[in-house]
């Protein structure tokens, strides 16, 4: 048992996991400052050998530090798929929770991960190096969208790691980031399949899928997880259900798995 696990409050070790999650929101979500040590080496419920250095003020990181997971339904599915292994593409990798979770399940599992935020990128690299996963995880500091180019990128508030994202207008604080499409990166690079595509881009998930249309039409992506952030989508000129329509047209079955979270499979 690691030091981080030992120092978790007793209630944060119980099962079932859904109950642990409810107790976190009730007892600890607003009182995490006294447990800052948990954020130095936070171990994962579904990959106990992994420890992550996290941001104590970030709401998603608080869940990982206290619970050992975030987004329970998504984490369970990705952990299960990781047992079969293969290639995962992690678009919007943040500090590397899902990339590490996938790679940790088998030394042959591979990840290609995209993270555009310079704030997150160094922390992502640190977590991969600290867990000796650099040989399994190919890290790329670019954004993913519907076509190659460059776009403004909002960094978001400093106390949250996951609220930054692509924009279409320049305002105060944006930076310019390079953008690639998944078709550009993967379609002409051979016939390799993407076993899991996980997307979390704060509103631009539809663009990511539009930029993978050739891969989708050729059925070269087996499992897809994405989100609908309606407010951020509206700011990008994207409408609800565009992603779902594209996936259905390409022969995928769709299933809602949480608040604004979707799963698509062949």
Tens of pLDDT, residue by residue over 244-264, are 999 999 999 999 998 899 999
**pLDDT above 90 (res 69):** yes
Q: Model pTM greater than 0.85?
A: yes
Report the alpha-carbon distance of residue 131 to residue 122 in Å, rounded: 14
**Which tens digits make up the pLDDT trace of 198-221?**
999 999 999 999 999 999 999 999
Q: Which of 88-92, 102-106, 152-156, 190-194 has the lowest mean pLDDT?
A: 190-194
**pLDDT above 90 (res 101):** yes
**Which tens digits make up the pLDDT trace of 109-130?**
999 999 999 999 999 999 999 9
> Domain 72-265, what fold?
Rossmann fold (3.40.50)
- pLDDT bin (cut points 50, 70, 90) of residue 171 is confident
- pLDDT bin (cut points 50, 70, 90) of residue 7 is confident
**pLDDT above 60 (res 164):** yes
What was the pLDDT predicted at 6? 57
**3-state secondary structure at position 214:** helix
**pLDDT above 60 (res 169):** yes
Cβ(167)–Cβ(237) below 8 Å? no
CA nearest neighbour of 196 among 53, 87, 83, 40: 87
Burial of 142: CB neighbours in 10 Å, binned 0-12, 13-18, 19+: middle
What was the pLDDT predicted at 170? 87
What was the pLDDT predicted at 2? 56
Domain boundaries, the chain: 3-67, 72-265
Cβ(58)–Cβ(162) below 8 Å? yes
Residue range 126-135: average pLDDT?
Answer: 98
- pLDDT bin (cut points 50, 70, 90) of residue 5 is low
């Amino acid at each position: 048992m690691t030091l981080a696990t030992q120092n978790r409050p007793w209630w944060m070790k119980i099962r079932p996991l859904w109950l642990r999650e409810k107790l976190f929101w009730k007892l600890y979500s607003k009182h995490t400052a006294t447990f800052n040590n948990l954020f130095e080496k936070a171990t994962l419920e579904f990959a106990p050998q992994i420890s992550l250095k996290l941001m104590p003020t970030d709401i998603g990181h608080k869940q990982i530090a206290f619970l050992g997971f975030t987004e329970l339904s998504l984490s369970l599915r990705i952990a299960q798929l990781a047992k079969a292994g293969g290639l995962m593409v992690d678009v919007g990798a943040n500090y590397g929770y899902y990339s590490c979770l996938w790679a940790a399940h088998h030394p042959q599992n591979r990840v290609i991960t995209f993270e555009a935020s310079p704030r997150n990128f160094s922390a992502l690299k640190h977590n991969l190096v600290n867990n000796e996963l650099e040989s399994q995880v190919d890290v790329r500091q670019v954004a993913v969208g519907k076509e190659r180019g460059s776009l403004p990128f909002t960094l978001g508030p400093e106390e949250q790691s996951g609220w930054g994202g692509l924009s279409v207008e320049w305002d105060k604080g944006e930076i310019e980031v390079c953008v690639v499409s998944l078709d550009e990166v993967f379609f002409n690079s051979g016939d390799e399949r993407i076993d899991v595509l996980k997307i979390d881009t704060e509103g631009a998930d539809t663009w990511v899928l539009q930029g993978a249309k050739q891969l989708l039409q050729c059925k070269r992506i087996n499992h897809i997880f994405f989100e609908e952030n309606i407010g951020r989508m509206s700011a990008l000129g994207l409408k609800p259900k565009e992603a779902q329509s594209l996936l259905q047209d390409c022969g995928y079955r769709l299933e809602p798995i949480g608040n604004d979270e979707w799963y698509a499979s062949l």
